[in-house]
Amino acid sequence: MDLDLRLVRYFVAVADELHFGRAAARLYISQPALSKQIRKLEEDLGAKLLTRDSRHVELTVRGQQFYAQACELLALATSMQQQHDADAVRIAHVFELSTSREVADEFGRRHPGTQLIARAMDSKGQLDGLLRGQLDVAILRITAEMKAAHPEGWQHRALRLEPMVLVGRPGDPPAEAASLYERPLEVFGDPPGSGSYNAHGDFLTAFERAAGVKMRWLGTPGAFSHCLAQLTHAVGSAYVLEFASYGDRYRKAGIAVHRPAELSPHYAWSLAWRSETPSAPTAALLAVAAEVSEMNRWLPGNRIVEREAWLPPDDPVRGELFAQARA
């Protein structure tokens, strides 16, 4: 029997999460497709690996044994890949957001002879990939839950404090600021309990609580073109809470973008890497990222003081950022 490593990775994701929805979101595939692939793996092995009902997923005895073997197999495959890609550096992007893209583009300009291998992963997926040796650098939002679950083995530093903006509807008049309370507030994200709730959703839930608003969660469409199409054809008046880097793209499409009048939510992006001594390409990318951050003034310095920028109270980089702002 030829064992398909892709199916093994799918199984490990389900075994880690014990939830098909979360595992599917982590793998960027649909839940039905993931279920089909797990069934195929079980058929190939001739053994049932999981028991599941509408509420629970559990490993069978054979599943527990296979999980341990699968982790060893994937670790070996990763080690072999690392040796093969010794002159490369591996990162991931969170959809089409600009932070990691700007770092990657600048790295490519400065180090044209070094291969940059990029994937699309959400923040939790990036940290998992980093700790498993599948990524060399993560550019992500760090949550208190991530820090508690993985207290060792990695390091991080703040990279960018990105403002959030309010995107109106096509035809809205331009205005510098808009109230969070004058229209319904919408977000492109998956709500708590959806199975694909992630670090972005964690940020949005904390903001709902702080602002005292109830947002409409529109799901995660992925590409900006899908967000723009959904907003263009939306019915009724509302504001969409978006990243400033996406806001620039909405402006170019002729849609009014505003600063929130009452609170100024900011999204903290961080660089993360394993605690081991980084390879030369990885060290070079970390250096480029720090320079890009400084050139673009992504961190507040003396420009933003603590009272002007809202972050979730438990954000692990909150103290670091505000200490810099007060310096």
Q: How confident is the model over 293-310, as a mean pLDDT?
A: 76
Tell me the C-alpha distance between 170 and 69, whole Å. Answer: 54
Residue where the block lists tokens 């092995």: 45
- Average pLDDT value over all residues in the chain: 88
- The pLDDT-based confidence of 226 (bands split at 50, 70, 90) is confident
pLDDT value at position 221? 67
Start-end of H helices in 244-279? 244-252
Start-end of H helices in 212-263? 224-232, 244-252
pLDDT surpassing 70 at residue 83: no
Closest by CA position to 258, among listed 274, 276, 239: 239
DSSP notation for 25-94: HHHTS-HHHHHHHHHHHHHHHTS--EEE-SS-EEE-HHHHHHHHHHHHHHHHHHHHHHHHTTTEEEEEES
For the chain, how big is the Rg over CA atoms in Å?
A: 21
- The pLDDT-based confidence of 32 (bands split at 50, 70, 90) is confident
Q: Quick check: 10 and 1 in contact, CB under 8 A?
A: no
- The pLDDT-based confidence of 160 (bands split at 50, 70, 90) is very high
The 10s digit of each residue's pLDDT in 119-131 is 888 898 899 889 8
Tell me the C-alpha distance between 234 and 227, whole Å. Answer: 10
pLDDT surpassing 70 at residue 1: no
pLDDT value at position 301? 62
In angstroms, what CA-CA distances link 213 with 28, 36, 183, 199, 315? 30, 39, 11, 19, 20
Of residues 257 and 307, the one with the higher pLDDT is: 257
pLDDT surpassing 80 at residue 318: yes
pLDDT value at position 109? 96
Provide the token pair at 154: 């990695």
**Residue 241: helix, strand or coil by DSSP?**
strand
Q: How confident is the model over 138-156, as a mean pLDDT?
A: 92
pLDDT value at position 25? 75
Q: How confident is the model over 274-282, as a mean pLDDT?
A: 91
pLDDT value at position 158? 94
Q: Quick check: 116 and 104 in contact, CB under 8 A?
A: yes
Of residues 282 and 5, the one with the higher pLDDT is: 282
pLDDT value at position 133? 85
The residue type at 303: R
The residue type at 90: R
Of residues 99 and 29, the one with the higher pLDDT is: 99
Look at 69-73, 82-86, 167-171 and tell me which has the smallest mean pLDDT. 82-86
pLDDT value at position 79? 63
Q: How confident is the model over 83-102, as a mean pLDDT?
A: 82
Q: How confident is the model over 207-235, as a mean pLDDT?
A: 89
